[in-house]
Amino acid sequence: MPSARGWGRSSRKTGDARIRWGRKGRQKTIRLHYESETRDYTSADPNDRFHFERNDRRRYATLAFQIDLRKGWFLTAEGERDSNRSHFPPAALGATPAEDTTDYDEKLYQFGLGYDFGYGAGTGGGRPPTTPRD
């Protein structure tokens, strides 16, 4: 059965910031990334309760911190938050609000110990490219 739903319009804003300080081999870095998006759905069918006159606002943010240790080792910590808030026209009496299905909050925290092998794009090191063998 064909559906009459679709996107009305979408607007996305992003931002990044990075601060780095300290002497070489002992540097510290803080990185912040942010996204905000609004979505307006369109549907010609008022019975399509998950798309008819629906408006969403999604936000995503990451905060990361890295401390360089000695001999290529580093410590890292990162936190992420992803959330969505939906707004619908008033639901019929006795119906479960659609927001209960489409609203969410997700959080992720990570901590780690790593080693920089020097093969990243920003290090200038690494092996030179080779041609494949026959």
How do residues 78-108 score in pLDDT, each as one tens digit?
A: 999 999 988 877 765 456 666 667 888 999 9
The answer to the question of residue 3 being in a domain is no
Residue predicted with more confidence, 42 or 61? 61
Within a domain: 82: yes
72 found inside a domain: yes
Our measurement of the distance from residue 2's CA atom to the centroid of its chain's CA atoms, rounded to an integer in Å, reads 32
pLDDT score at 19: 96
Burial of residue 115, with CB atoms counted within 10 A of its CB: 0-12 exposed, 13-18 middle, 19 or more buried: exposed
Residue 88 has phi, psi (to 5 degrees) of: -125, 165
Which is more confidently placed, 120 or 16? 16
Range of the domain at 82: 16-115
Residue 133 lies in a domain: no
How many domains, the chain? 1
